[in-house]
Structure 1
Amino acid sequence: MVLDTVMTTLHVLVGALWVGSVVFVAGAILPAAVEGALDAAPLEKIADRLVYLSRGSSVVMFLTGGHLAGTRYTIETLTGTGRGHLVLAMLALWLALAALVEVGRSRLVDGLQEKRVRTPAAEVTTVFRVAAVVGILLLVDAGLLASGLALY
């Protein structure tokens, strides 16, 4: 019981931190870079920190989510109930968020290494906005699971 509480708390906190970071980059950092308010070096450092946070969060989310799914669901309940479908949707969204952050960071850094800022930032803004939407959908999914509305 205590282990499940710790795992749930860690899962939710790390997920919220991860999604919040992606939303902040998409909504504040990249628009500032497009406007010319950031130089290449700080923007690259931010992108690197975001990808390290994303990778670390992915590992924590995988371990905690795997524990929670393993103790609360069977294959039948994952594939045959509303709650199980929400868990599977969360897994798909988690993979999409991790992939979008990796792709966005890679494209951004490639452009920044040419000592350009505005164009690479503008080119990856859509990728990060999509990542932010995916992250928000993850939080909505978590809220639906936590609310207990999707019982069967």
Structure 2
Amino acid sequence: MGGLIGLGAPRPSMRLRTDGHIVTKDGGADHTEAMSALAARRLPGLDEADGYVLKGRSPSCGLFRLPRYASDRPGERTDDQPVDREGRDVFAALLVETLPDLPVEENGRLNDPVLREHFIERLFAQARLRALFTADWQPRDLVDFHARHKMQLLAHAPDE
């Protein structure tokens, strides 16, 4: 994503701060606004996507457990160690907020066979559901879809 906001390659190391800002490691440049603008441009076109894979452990597009560093607030550590590992990048956060039903995963997590199978399962179901709703469908078509995916739906939302 760094290249999409005008950063060259190689780009300076970036960090996610506890206040949600994405800054260069030396703190000299804040790229949060550029990343938010990129998300605003890219997200409307993703409503036709069946899924999205993000680059894991990246402060510019990480989805899970990104290290967050102090934001110079009183009481926060100011050393070079992360405060926690609870971060999510600006683009990833806006993606899952805007399209909560879209299957989204990090590339490295797809090496886990269970997570990969779950993601692919959701991709195909999403594609079939999108195809259903873009066609001239009838209520019986939705009932057929539900019957076809009943076990998958129960496996992922047993209380519903």
Indicate the structure with greater strand content: 2
Question: TM-score with structure 1 length normalisation?
Answer: 0.33
TM-score, normalised by the number of residues in structure 2: 0.32
Question: Taking CA–CA contacts closer than 8 Å with sequence separation of 6 or more, which of the two structures ends up with the larger relative contact order?
Answer: 1
More helix by share: 1
